[in-house]
Chain A
């Protein structure tokens, strides 16, 4: 692909298109508050790098880059972010005095040193990997991998197994109490007067069927429990604009609403399945039920 010291025009084109994208994606690490956004940007960077790898004459690694980094590693990151809390945004208020300036200055210093080393070096004529790959990059890599680097490969395999076991052990949690069986759960629910059936799916009878839109029962009452508890805890329940207008405006005119009702619905903080009780499930909307279905006694 490239036999000369200089890049070909196509490669230059590729480099100058992809390079800035890569740097831009990477810089999200420094400037993005939201971790998910950062992860996505880094994914872009990884894919961009995969392009460059292909351009550098190793299509095999380019594919591996996509599969391993973008497909596995970055997905793992996103999973963990979800686990930890996707909305956990990083505060940019520095707690260690001078740390940010030190980081920036040292980063600049590192850049100067590294690029100084690059600029001060003279590079030989780029041979290109065509001859070495012999038209079959993956085959060439495989040949080397299973001959000269066979032992390294074995050891790396060991490492992977150990790492997997380590992850299992690290995340393993010893159960401290006996798990509650299904029968016991039903007993508890009966005794406490809780709902016995599973909650309806979110968005049932509502205008939208997204996961954050609560279901509405046959009498037009909102069933808060239908929204997954994780969303409720985070206050991400939809603001119920999917409800029929009359239901909202007639029954609960803004002027007559108690102060707590609207914010409760907006924020979605009100209501939990434990204390909701049968009141949520049935009963026509009473004329005097001015507080709306979400207001708790």
Chain B
């Protein structure tokens, strides 16, 4: 049942795989160089950053082509770089796993990452810290590549933390603004909560399996008890929730928009948030044996996709609406990843297509902001289709892709996920209905809020402020957008034609295609119908010639108000975690002050008292000392005499 290749890759690694550590090393070295050289590198730092990212892509492509040239059974290659933590009976190696899954990520990260790098040259042109920005971007890419290429959970964790660090640095890149610095801290703290899950998972693996490498853990997982695997699975899910902004750790994602827009594109498309999905898919052999943990993953995914969709409907901030949509789309991927190996394949496929169209849309949003003097309020946009033709068209491709309109990219990936959601495990038919309908309904909402965003920004009447004079962005920005929009249009089709699922499947545990509870074509039709309805409602309210969009948010009912407030996630976090945490800290401090310190002080007081009592013997009179000595002598003599009686 389990594909042996996944468990123990004992295939001799090819030269390309041997060299694929360069994929990580090049951007890492570039980041280190840019940070160490400092201002002297200001003139050429961005060029080095782009070159490093591109070089990383070239090496990755080489490894990818090499992989494709190998027979399917020999495509999973583990390369040990060096002995990292030698520990007697347990050695931990720093190594990379080159296989279909990791190389898919490598291609996505380096390609989209390079485009974002290029875009950033123009976007950050007037920022005096552009070199530092590129250093962080390179660090981000390097950390993400280490994460996906790792051959053990510990190495993965290094990349995991590196991603967290880089995201912290980038979200807070403009940290002279207090709210941006706070947003960075929020992302950092939320990620740390997830890290606890990761660490707990590794602890359980180490104590139960005595292994931390993928090969060792997956082999041991076959014989492990269900409870252990469920625990590991839930801990991994917590980690994934933190990194991928899934419910209930989703609150940081919206605030993460504080970073420069290319960072948002990078976080949402290629790196960071996809890490959680990668973790769940990579840990497939663990989740395979624990239906409970899988159900938890699916549930989290379903909740998050609805959550993100509802929040997205109410947001007027363009970037935050896009962030909500990311949350929702990652929810789709989570849901798919939790469905099993087949779902995992479509999760990765959706991740790739989403990486393209979401990156394209974020870059488009950045282009709009660039044109509108950093305005993000959609109520102040409108009718930008004439002023910014390239941005409009590329954004439209992304919009159609996320809606899932055939033949755009999203159709091929998202429709498959919805179809898989309707596949129920044996004896659990309700699951198929519940998650299938949630996914389908979510697609409809997605269509509404994405169309709302698109129409509010590009269609309708101009609601600009007086000083705004929209203009098209320079070529360095539009070219990456065009390339990404091409991906948004054709990638889904291409991946389907080249049978991406068959390519990826050997890297995952073997799954079986179940039958959905409804006919697949009915599902497709119903989904498309919902999408069209959602888009039509958005058109009638925000896009048509008759629609009037007020420049201030109108009064609304409770649900909309709640959605505008991110469904009160911050208030809930405050009430449930922050306030009790602070109270706990205050209590601990008080306990420390009064009880612990009190005990110490009390002890000191006792000894002080004893000391001052005893010090009265020390009166400075030699005669008193003589008397004391004599008393001691008499006592000793008496004891000696008594002992001899």
Closest to B630 in A: A106
- Complex CA–CA separation, A117 to B644 (angstroms): 10
Stretch of B108-116, B477-485, B560-568, B631-639 lying at the A interface: B631-639
Does A256 reach chain B (CB closer than 8 Å)? Answer: no
Does A113 reach chain B (CB closer than 8 Å)? Answer: yes
Against A, the Cβ 8 Å flags (1 = close, 0 = not) of B614-645 are 00000101011001001101100110010011
- Complex CA–CA separation, A47 to B631 (angstroms): 31
Question: Interface centre among A103, A110, A113, by most B CB within 10 Å?
Answer: A113
| Chain A residue contacts of B633, Cβ below 8 A | 110
**Contact assessment for A110 and B641 in the assembled complex, using a CB-CB cutoff below 8 Å:** no
Interchain Cβ contacts under 8 Å between A and B, 19 examples: A96-B619, A96-B623, A96-B624, A99-B627, A102-B627, A103-B623, A106-B630, A106-B631, A106-B634, A109-B631, A109-B634, A110-B630, A110-B633, A113-B634, A113-B637, A114-B637, A116-B641, A117-B637, A120-B644
Interface residues, chain B, with chain A CB atoms under 8 Å away: 619, 621, 623-624, 627, 630-631, 633-634, 637-638, 641, 644-645
Asked if A99 meets B623 with Cβ closer than 8 Å, knowing A109-B634, A110-B634, the reply is: yes
| Chain B residue contacts of A120, Cβ below 8 A | 641, 644-645
A-B contact count (CB 8 A): 31
The count of chain A contact residues (Cβ–Cβ below 8 Å) is: 12
User: Nearest chain B CB to A111's CB is how many angstroms away?
Assistant: 10
| Chain A residue contacts of B624, Cβ below 8 A | 96, 99
Q: Other CB < 8 Å A-B pairs besides A96-B621, A117-B641, A120-B641, 20 of them?
A: A96-B619, A96-B623, A96-B624, A99-B621, A99-B623, A99-B624, A102-B627, A103-B623, A103-B627, A106-B627, A106-B630, A109-B631, A109-B634, A110-B633, A113-B634, A113-B637, A113-B638, A114-B637, A120-B644, A120-B645
User: Nearest chain A CB to B499's CB is how many angstroms away?
Assistant: 106
User: Nearest chain A CB to B607's CB is how many angstroms away?
Assistant: 26
- Complex CA–CA separation, A114 to B637 (angstroms): 8
- Complex CA–CA separation, A102 to B625 (angstroms): 12
The residues in A between 89 and 103 inclusive whose CB is less than 8 angstroms from any CB of B are 96, 99, 102-103
Interface residues, chain A, with chain B CB atoms under 8 Å away: 96, 99, 102-103, 106, 109-110, 113-114, 116-117, 120
| Chain A residue contacts of B619, Cβ below 8 A | 96
- Complex CA–CA separation, A110 to B621 (angstroms): 21
Closest to A109 in B: B634
| Chain B residue contacts of A103, Cβ below 8 A | 623, 627
User: Nearest chain A CB to B644's CB is how many angstroms away?
Assistant: 8
**Contact assessment for A113 and B641 in the assembled complex, using a CB-CB cutoff below 8 Å:** yes
- Complex CA–CA separation, A109 to B633 (angstroms): 10
Q: Which 3 A-B pairs have the closest CB atoms?
A: A113-B637, A109-B634, A106-B630
| Chain A residue contacts of B631, Cβ below 8 A | 106, 109
Closest to A116 in B: B641
- Complex CA–CA separation, A96 to B627 (angstroms): 12
- Complex CA–CA separation, A116 to B641 (angstroms): 8
User: Nearest chain B CB to A208's CB is how many angstroms away?
Assistant: 44
Closest to A99 in B: B623
| Chain A residue contacts of B641, Cβ below 8 A | 113, 116-117, 120
- Complex CA–CA separation, A99 to B527 (angstroms): 107
| Chain B residue contacts of A106, Cβ below 8 A | 627, 630-631, 634
Closest to B621 in A: A96
Closest to B627 in A: A102
| Chain A residue contacts of B644, Cβ below 8 A | 120
- Complex CA–CA separation, A99 to B630 (angstroms): 13
- Complex CA–CA separation, A96 to B620 (angstroms): 11
Closest to B637 in A: A113
| Chain A residue contacts of B638, Cβ below 8 A | 113
- Complex CA–CA separation, A99 to B628 (angstroms): 11
User: Nearest chain B CB to A40's CB is how many angstroms away?
Assistant: 24
| Chain B residue contacts of A102, Cβ below 8 A | 627
| Chain A residue contacts of B637, Cβ below 8 A | 113-114, 117
- Complex CA–CA separation, A120 to B643 (angstroms): 13
| Chain B residue contacts of A109, Cβ below 8 A | 631, 634
- Complex CA–CA separation, A255 to B396 (angstroms): 143
- Complex CA–CA separation, A103 to B628 (angstroms): 10
| Chain A residue contacts of B623, Cβ below 8 A | 96, 99, 103
Closest to B636 in A: A113
- Complex CA–CA separation, A110 to B638 (angstroms): 9
Closest to B631 in A: A106
Closest to B645 in A: A120
| Chain A residue contacts of B645, Cβ below 8 A | 120
- Complex CA–CA separation, A117 to B640 (angstroms): 10
- Complex CA–CA separation, A130 to B619 (angstroms): 52
Question: Interface centre among A109, A116, A120, by most B CB within 10 Å?
Answer: A109
